[in-house]
């Protein structure tokens, strides 16, 4: 009698542990993401490149302008200054914080700012519309019938 209760208890525990582990596996199992644009789906099997960068960055990073001023030449072992300007609408109002002079519990922090400017590759979407990155248009219309090589390989 005692042995029968022990075996039934062991069987219940094994069944319970298998069902719990199966539920954990089902809950944590991640499916493949297909929620990136159709243009990227047609050209990329995975939404991330080998470097970890999202492939949408190849087309969409050039939508905001960034102005940067750097020296024309820099000598070795010298420190130079780069000025980055982000154009914005002057009519927008900034969010004001509490005055630190009146409320001593308010503190401001300094954060580093990293800027990357990618101008994209000027692509054409599947529907035929041009991307907003860079638009190159020919100055003259026509058909290229022949390409002549220069003697010096130019």
List, as residue ranges, the binding site for heme: 36, 56, 59-60
Backbone angles phi, psi at 20, to 5 degrees: -65, -45
Q: 136 with 143: CB under 8 angstroms? A: no
- In which element (H, E) is residue 60 found? helix 57-60
CA–CA distance from 37 to each of 1, 117, 119, 152 (Å)? Answer: 65, 22, 19, 45
Binding-site annotation: residue ranges? 36, 56, 59-60
Task: Report residue 34 as tokens.
Answer: 């297909």
């Amino acid at each position: 009698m005692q042995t029968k209760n022990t075996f039934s208890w062991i069987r219940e525990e094994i069944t319970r542990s298998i069902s719990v582990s199966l539920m954990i596996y089902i809950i944590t199992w991640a499916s493949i993401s297909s929620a990136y644009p159709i243009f990227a789906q047609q050209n990329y099997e995975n939404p991330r490149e080998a470097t970890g960068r999202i492939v949408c960055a190849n087309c969409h990073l050039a939508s905001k302008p960034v102005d940067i001023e750097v020296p024309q030449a820099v000598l070795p072992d010298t420190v130079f200054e780069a000025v980055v300007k982000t154009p914005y609408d002057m009519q927008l109002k900034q969010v004001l914080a509490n005055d630190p002079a009146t409320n001593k519990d308010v503190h401001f922090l300094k954060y580093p700012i990293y800027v990357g400017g990618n101008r994209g590759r000027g692509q054409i979407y599947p529907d035929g519309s041009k991307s907003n990155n860079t638009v190159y248009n020919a100055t003259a219309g026509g058909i290229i019938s022949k390409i002549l090589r220069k003697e010096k390989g130019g």
